[in-house]
Amino acid sequence: MRRILSILLENEPGSLSRIVGLFSQRAYNIESLSVAQTDDASLSRITITTRGDDKVLEQITKQVNKLVDVIKVADLTERAHIEREMVLVKVLAMSDKTRTEVKRVADIFRGDIVDIGKQIYTIQLTGDESKTSAFIKILGHETEIIEVVRSGTVGIARGEKALRAS
């Protein structure tokens, strides 16, 4: 089962490597990882998507919580949440026909063309993982994909619930 873990931790050298190391050391899987500091510069927020049954997830959550740097851990998938990923896709756009098709697909998915070259378009798109995956797949039917970069999922709980240090 796919899960999204949100981790709030001290923004210190080595704290990210402890998280990543824990996952590899205990043979847990990381599907995507996204990390940056929060509004409070002393804190980092990590979003990890992983897979596992309830028992594995319970262990992962406990093990992450046990790390001294970690302040809070939440499983976003337990309740209503918003998840987003950003992708940048560079595609071949040589002919007028391809350009039109690519533009049409980008519009349908509400993506933006953010760079144009003699032979390429680069499209930016935001959405949950199923949307971004579908977009990449469909673009691939229309033209040749040169490069894909995905930010990894970030997420936040819906409603009042918040993951904060205190």
Partner 1 sequence: MTTALYSGSQLLIKALAELEVDYIFGYPGGSVLDIYDAIFQQDKVEHILVRHEQAATHMADGYTRATGKTGVVLATSGPGNTNCITGIATAYMDSIPMVVLAGQVPSQLIGDDAFQETDIIGCSRPIVKHSFNCRSVVELPNVLAKAFYLAETGRPGPVVIELPKDILVPTNTAPFELNKEVKIRSYNPNVKGHSKQIKKAVNTIINAERLVVYTGGGIILADASDKLTALVERLNAPTTNTLMGLGGLSGLHPNFLGMLGMHGSVEANKAMANADVILALGARFDDRVTNKVEKFCPNATIIHVDIDPTSISKTVNAHIPIVGLVDVVIDQLMAGLDEANHQYNEQAYADWWKQINQWRSLNSFSYETDENKIKPQQVVESIYKHTEGKAYVTSDVGQHQMFAAQYYPFDKPRQWINSGGLGTMGFGFPAAMGVKVAFPDADVVCVTGDGSIQMNIQELSTCLQYNLPVKIVSLNNRSLGMVRQWQDMIYGGRHSSSYMESLPDFVKLVESYGHVGIQVNHPSELDEAMERAFAMKDRLVFVDVLVDETEHVYPMQVRFGAVDDMWLKKGEKV
Binding residues vs partner 1 (CB under 8 A): 9-10, 13-14, 17-18, 21, 25, 55, 58-59, 62-63, 65-66, 68-71, 165-166
3-state secondary structure of 54: helix
| SS3 (DSSP) at 110 | coil
Nearer to partner 1 by C-beta: 14 or 117?
Answer: 14
CB 13, min distance to partner 1, A: 6
**Residues 129, 132, 133: CA angle, nearest 5 degrees:** 80
Helix then strand then coil, in percent of the chain rounded to 5, is 35, 40, 30
Question: Nearer Cβ to partner 1, position 58 or 107?
Answer: 58
Q: How far is the CB of 9 from partner 1 (least distance, A)?
A: 7
Q: Write down the least CB distance from residue 162 to partner 1, Å.
A: 17
Of 37 and 59, nearer to partner 1 (C-beta) is 59
Least distance in angstroms from the C-beta of 17 to partner 1: 7
User: What's the burial of 62, exposed, middle or buried (CB within 10 Å: 0-12/13-18/19+)?
Assistant: exposed
